[in-house]
Amino acid sequence: MTDFCTYHPTQPAWWRCPNCAKSLCPQCIVRRKGGYTGNENLFFCPKCNIPATQVDTSNIVTPFWKRLHKCFVYPFSSIQSIFLIFGMALLSALFSKAGFLGGLLRFIPWALMVKYSFEALRATAAGRFRPPPITVEGLTDNLGLVFKQIALFVALLLFFAFFITRMNPFFWILFGVCVLIGLPAMIIILAINDDLGQALNPVYFLGMTVRIGWGYLLLLFFLSILITAPSVLGYAVIRHMPEATRHFFWLAANNYYTLVTYHLMGCVILQYHEQLSYPVDFATLLASTYPAALNKTPQSLLPQTPAAALEHNLLNDIAPLIQEGDLDGAIALIKKETDLQIHDLQLSDRYINLLKMRHRDQEFQDYAPKHLELLVKAGEKDKALELYTACAASEGFAAPPTTLFKIGGWFSEKGNPKMAVQTFNHLTKVHPQDVLIPKVYYRAAQILHEKLANTEKAKKILTALISKYPDHEIANFARTYLRGI
């Protein structure tokens, strides 16, 4: 039975905290660098701040029957695998003429495609869900694996021809059924052990079918569909194509379904790796399933001030409290650790939303100017305008003057000149002596004249600006603008 993350109930758990017994997924685990070399990935519980224990990989791996739709798109997740599928089909089509040399030249692209499919099987079995890169070494090293697969089919054919045909026809059927059932297991054994003798040994391949159990029967069903798919596709679609392209697309379809088939067998090995005694590296599986979990620079390696480090750690500390419904506890922890001198926008956003959710209206109003300032600095226009609109009518609300000046300009940009003028009026009331006041007058007059068609009021504001601040640099602009209207 799958153990799911305590805080993300739809995600399988990858770790478990030995202290609080919480199950954790890559979205909530805290990664740091450390260990003997100082460069190892260490995973900590966000609540207890102690190393978390890895759960069994069987809890993580998605059953292959739930990945079937992804198996069909697997070849298209890499431009290299697409190139190989069509490239090998093109080479085979170019040498489609009969004869020994033509057959030899067709064999080479087929062999390279099968070798690449074996590499894909092994990569999938190791927990990598993207087609392996195409390299000369990957296509040519241990090419004997392809010949061993050929030898496997030849051995079965010879055994049937020299022994089974001499028996009662009942045994012909029995042998055919055994081969159909055991063939995927034989190929899997050949792929993971590179041993033709084991692949042909009934003790090994039948033993594998038993260890996998009913999942193996499901694999046989899917493989039967994949094996017949090129013929069905050829009859339904390819035969209607221009004659010159039919052979090429039929070869491409065979290459595609070959890669899908071997990838599917790799998924089976990964899922049943414990029953098959096949080692799977936890870090490889994590990097393939959640690349961000390992690719993101750990917080411990980022250059930070002590305050920034504290605020980042607070985000991790309050996450369990929020998930457990202790919103007041999360609010109290933020207040205690920061004294509300918050510089991290994410933490600030979390705090103000917690206040809103708990209907702590007075605290919300008191903190809103600080959060508004952070939103403006980050250029979060929509969020800043929404917060200002919600708070502007409150008695005593006073954001910093530079913040209010930005907000007024953004309202004008967004096509809301009335709110822009109201914001500038608000600024002049709460910060009447600020150095920005002359510019506020001038900007308000522009909006009144150009966007609200209230030229008379604009003239009054400009006249007052020139009278009150005759030597200010903006006064000359005001005089020129006033003459123009």
pLDDT tens for 268-292 read: 999 998 888 888 877 788 877 776 5
Q: What is the pLDDT of residues 178-223, one digit of tens each?
A: 888 999 999 999 998 889 999 999 899 989 999 999 999 999 999 9
In the sheet that holds 23-24, the strands lie side by side as 23-24, 15-16, 53-54
Contact 389, 421 (CB under 8 A): no
Please report how the helices 473-484 and 455-468 are oriented relative to each other, as an axis angle in degrees rounded to 10: 150
Three-state secondary structure string covering 393-441: CCCCCCCCHHHHHHHHHHHHHCCCHHHHHHHHHHHHHHCCCCCCHHHHH
Considering its fold, how many domains does the chain have in total? 1
For residue 279, being part of any structural domain is answered with no
C-alpha to C-alpha distances, 318 to 114, 351, 358, 364, 367, nearest whole angstrom? 52, 10, 15, 18, 19
Q: 139: domain range?
A: 65-271
- Residue-level pLDDT at 221: 93
For residue 13, being part of any structural domain is answered with no
Q: Looking at the chain, how many residues does it have? A: 485
For residue 382, being part of any structural domain is answered with no
For residue 453, being part of any structural domain is answered with no
Which residues face 34 on adjacent strands?
40
- Residue-level pLDDT at 142: 82
What 3-state class would DSSP assign to 20?
coil
Contact 120, 262 (CB under 8 A): yes
pLDDT under 70: residue ranges of the chain: 1, 34-39, 98-99, 291-312
- Residue-level pLDDT at 36: 59
For residue 428, being part of any structural domain is answered with no
For residue 235, being part of any structural domain is answered with yes
Query: Following CA atoms 344, 345, 350, 352 in sequence, which dihedral angle do they give, to the nearest 10 degrees?
Result: 110
For residue 227, being part of any structural domain is answered with yes
What secondary structure does DSSP assign to 256-288, as a single string?
HHHHHHHHHHHHHHHHTTTTTT----HHHHHHH
